């Protein structure tokens, strides 16, 4: 109670100083009419602290929360007093997230978390854990380093290594293998440019399919995606023709129809040269098949060479997906375990998985694939798959308290009802895999022109789940900066705050009301990272109560 009275005293002093600072020190002998703007808000002085308006008998478990900057809160000054006396619970804006506590070498430093929790505990205010598994505010540098490719230093000199070579001066016909074709070595002087020898392959008849007659060249190692190869060979035929070729895993075991492209044989010796980069379609190739079927003639090949490019720079070897999954699973477990070790004696509710659903395809999970990611973004689901939330909830349950209240949380659920349904369906999926989700949080960063019917529809949809429902990050913009906001803007803002609180109390059954957290209780400064310069709070930047304060209090007081 001492904290409560301190806050009231501080607030009263601020309000009086700010309201009457322009009044002369010596009171005049006549009455001065108060400016209309002051007279209209004088009623705010009659209100008690905000959480005193909750009917605790009807809502014994309801928690009125506030988002906080832990730096301001830890100073234990006016902000600390005001928040601690008006709210039941606080949630850290950043300091409990992965990026704030995990260092670049992977060590976890939770000293700031311990200090924050201690300050809240001293004030008798609960702490809502925010957040264990999210794609933003992560130490992505460290997490990505754990699954980065292995780097093999190079020699500094690029080179082409010969994989297969045959000049047929000493090589026999066994260099190649054959299907419905006849091979032999020519006489001396019948090789390329009338020098040395060549191999002669005869297709005796036109085939129904071009692969009805083939010859094959096998090689090692297996081709891998992204590698570069050059095929060189001197060629001619008794009759001009075009020969296609295929990728095979072994001679006769087909993989893909297009490989080095069409090869044009003429009656004169020519040199065929083609470089390729191995695509995913031909990765795994260990043999080239040449299709001779369309033309019955004799084919001649000399100086056959297949070369592979080797960079003199670093070589990167990707970790297998299964190994990446194991590494990131261990990191998620290490992070959640570490956080729970220092907080579980006081924190009993957690935002376990934050913002999982995709805005464009709200029935699916978000993904970082194909996006230009910010430096602090790491999508756990891109490595762990759809069951990442199953793992997170199970770990929170394992390392926290058995009766902790565990939430999933997302934004724009009142704006996009398909997304609201998406998160409801995802909760059902998580629980079908054996984990337990106690509640659903809806952030509600809204404006005075937000669709009220959709807000009501969202609350009805969430209530139907039977889960605890929390308005987790409520603030209301007015469509203007603080410097430009009008009295009409502030009246509309108060009405929207009143509507949200009243509808929550009306549509969410008492047993499911976890509570409401005001994400930014004060108007946002111009240099803030969050809705910069917007008058979104219940108090001004100088801690004066606004119309929104009274509307919020009235909605709590009038709720059943």
pLDDT digits (tens, 9 = 90+) for 283-342: 999 999 999 999 999 999 999 999 999 888 887 889 999 999 999 999 999 999 999 999
Which pLDDT score is estimated for 456? 98
Q: Which domains does the chain have, with CATH numbers?
A: 2-148+319-557 (3.20.20.80), 159-315 (2.60.120.260)
Token digits of residue 84: 């601690």
Q: Is the pLDDT of residue 42 over 70?
A: yes
Q: What pairing do the DSSP bridges indicate for beta strands 349-354 and 405-410?
A: parallel
- pLDDT tens digits along 229-263: 999 999 999 999 999 999 999 999 999 999 999 99
Strand (E) or helix (H) holding 441: strand 439-442
Residue 27: partners with Cβ closer than 8 Å, 6 or more residues away = none
Q: What pairing do the DSSP bridges indicate for beta strands 228-237 and 63-68?
A: unpaired
Q: How far apart are CA 141 and CA 99, in angstroms?
A: 10
Q: Is the pLDDT of residue 6 over 80?
A: no
Task: Give the pTM.
Answer: 0.71
How much of the chain, in percent, has pLDDT values that exceed 70?
A: 93
Q: How far apart are CA 472 and CA 301, in angstroms?
A: 74
Token digits of residue 203: 């297709």
Which pLDDT score is estimated for 39? 60
The answer to whether 149 and 314 are in contact (CB under 8 A) is: no
The mean per-residue pLDDT over the stretch 85-107 comes to: 97
Strand (E) or helix (H) holding 327: helix 321-343
Q: Is the pLDDT of residue 427 over 90?
A: yes
- CA neighbours closer than 13 Å in the CB half-sphere of residue 306: 16
Q: How far apart are CA 523 and CA 537, in angstroms?
A: 5
Q: Is the pLDDT of residue 560 over 70?
A: no
Name which residue leads in pLDDT, 339 or 8: 339
Q: Is the pLDDT of residue 4 over 80?
A: no
The answer to whether 178 and 210 are in contact (CB under 8 A) is: no
Q: Is the pLDDT of residue 36 over 60?
A: no
Which pLDDT score is estimated for 402? 94
Integer Rg of the chain from CA:
36
Q: How far apart are CA 212 and CA 262, in angstroms?
A: 17
Lowest-confidence segment of 6-20, 90-104, 164-178, 304-318 by average pLDDT: 6-20
The mean per-residue pLDDT over the stretch 515-525 comes to: 96
Token digits of residue 257: 């129809």
Q: What pairing do the DSSP bridges indicate for beta strands 159-166 and 298-310?
A: antiparallel
The mean per-residue pLDDT over the stretch 102-119 comes to: 96
Residue 131, preceding peptide bond in cis (omega within 30° of 0): yes
Q: Is the pLDDT of residue 148 over 70?
A: yes
Q: How far apart are CA 65 and CA 87, in angstroms?
A: 5
Q: Is the pLDDT of residue 30 over 60?
A: no
Lowest-confidence segment of 22-31, 424-433, 521-530 by average pLDDT: 22-31
Q: How far apart are CA 384 and CA 347, in angstroms?
A: 27
The mean per-residue pLDDT over the stretch 336-350 comes to: 98
Q: How far apart are CA 204 and CA 509, in angstroms?
A: 85
């Amino acid at each position: 109670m001492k904290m409560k009275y301190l806050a009231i005293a501080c607030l009263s002093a601020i309000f009086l100083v700010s309201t009457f600072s322009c009044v002369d020190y010596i009171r005049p002998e006549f009455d001065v009419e108060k400016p209309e703007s002051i007279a209209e808000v004088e009623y705010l002085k009659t209100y008690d602290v905000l959480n005193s308006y909750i009917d605790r008998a009807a809502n014994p478990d309801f928690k009125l929360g506030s988002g906080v900057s832990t730096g301001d809160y830890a100073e234990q000054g006016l902000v600390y007093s005001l928040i601690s006396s008006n709210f039941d619970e606080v949630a850290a804006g950043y300091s409990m997230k992965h990026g704030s506590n995990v260092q670049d070498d992977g060590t976890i430093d939770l000293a700031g978390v311990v200090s924050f929790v201690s300050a809240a505990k001293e004030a008798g205010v609960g702490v809502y854990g925010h957040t264990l598994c999210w794609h933003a505010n992560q130490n992505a540098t460290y997490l990505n380093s754990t699954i980065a490719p292995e780097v093999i230093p190079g020699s500094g000199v690029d080179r082409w290594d010969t994989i297969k070579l045959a000049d047929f001066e000493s090589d026999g016909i066994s260099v190649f293998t054959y299907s419905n074709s006849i091979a032999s070595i020519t006489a001396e002087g019948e090789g390329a440019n009338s020098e040395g020898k060549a191999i002669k392959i005869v297709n005796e008849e036109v085939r129904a399919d071009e692969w009805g007659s083939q010859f094959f060249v096998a090689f090692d190692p297996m081709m891998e995606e992204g590698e570069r190869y050059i095929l060189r060979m001197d060629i001619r035929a008794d009759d001009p023709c075009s020969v296609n070729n295929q990728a095979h895993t072994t001679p006769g075991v087909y993989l893909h129809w297009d490989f080095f492209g069409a090869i044009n044989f003429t009656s004169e010796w020519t040199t065929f040269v083609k470089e390729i980069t191995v695509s995913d379609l031909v990765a795994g190739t260990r043999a080239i098949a040449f299709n001779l079927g369309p033309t019955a003639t004799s084919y001649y090949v000399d100086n056959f060479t297949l070369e592979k490019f080797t960079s003199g720079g670093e070589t990167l070897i990707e970790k297998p997906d299964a190994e990446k999954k194991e590494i990131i699973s261990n990191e998620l477990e290490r992070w959640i375990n570490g956080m729970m070790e220092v907080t579980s004696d006081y924190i009993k509710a957690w935002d376990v998985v934050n913002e999982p659903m995709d805005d464009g395809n709200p029935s699916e999970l978000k993904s970082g694939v194909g996006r230009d990611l910010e430096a602090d973004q790491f999508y756990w689901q891109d490595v762990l798959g759809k069951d990442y939330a199953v793992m997170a909830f199970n770990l929170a349950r394992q390392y926290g308290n058995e009766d902790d209240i565990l939430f999933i949380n997302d934004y724009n659920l009142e704006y996009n009802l398909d997304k609201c349904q998406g998160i409801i369906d995802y909760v059902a999926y998580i629980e079908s895999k054996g984990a337990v989700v106690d509640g659903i949080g809806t952030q509600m960063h809204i404006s005075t022109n937000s669709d009220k019917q959709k807000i009501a529809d969202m609350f009805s949809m969430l209530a139907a789940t039977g889960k605890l429902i929390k308005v987790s990050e409520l603030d209301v913009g007015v469509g203007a900066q603080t410097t430009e906001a009008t009295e009409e803007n502030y009246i509309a803002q108060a009405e929207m705050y009143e509507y949200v609180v009243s509808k929550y109390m009306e549509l969410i059954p008492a047993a499911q009301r976890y509570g409401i957290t005001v994400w930014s209780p004060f108007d946002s400064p111009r240099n803030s990272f969050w809705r910069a310069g917007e008058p979104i709070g219940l108090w001004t930047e100088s801690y004066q109560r606004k119309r929104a304060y009274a509307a919020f209090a009235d909605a709590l007081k009038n709720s059943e």
